[in-house]
Amino acid sequence: MTQLAKLPIGIQTFSKIREGDYTYVDKTPLIHRLVTEGSYYFLSRPRRFGKSLLVSTLQDLFEGRRELFKGLDIEDKWDWETTYPVIKISFG
């Protein structure tokens, strides 16, 4: 019998999804474009549209957690030697 893919239902943290071997749709090409080409962004989406997961992914990217991005598009495009401080504020 074939094992079904693990879906990250209710998980909003990039590291938990990657470390737990859940199914993840690689959106890192868009994230790379957002980080390298953009200036200011306002993320206005309805509830449950992945805003928290996007912010979590950006946090892990800026902190240089390369092991989480293994096999993803951005792995070869990001300077992993440079890390950036991340301040996370939750209004939830």
**Helix residue ranges per DSSP H, 20-91:** 28-37, 51-62
pLDDT category, 2, cuts 50, 70, 90?
Answer: confident
CA distance 13 to 55: 9
For residue 5, the model assigns a pLDDT of 87
Which residue, 50, 66, 59, 67, is CA-closest to 87?
59
Say if residues 47 and 2 touch (Cβ distance below 8 Å): no
Structural tokens at position 7: 């879906």
State in Å, rounded, how far the first CA of the chain is from the last one.
41
- Predicted model pTM: 0.89
Radius of gyration in angstroms for the set of CA atoms belonging to the chain, rounded to a whole number: 14
Q: What average pLDDT does this structure show over 9-33?
A: 96
CA distance 23 to 16: 11
pLDDT category, 17, cuts 50, 70, 90?
Answer: very high
pLDDT, tens digit (0-9, with 9 covering 90-100), for 36-70: 997 888 988 898 888 999 999 999 999 999 999 99
Domain ranges of the chain: 1-92
For residue 89, the model assigns a pLDDT of 86
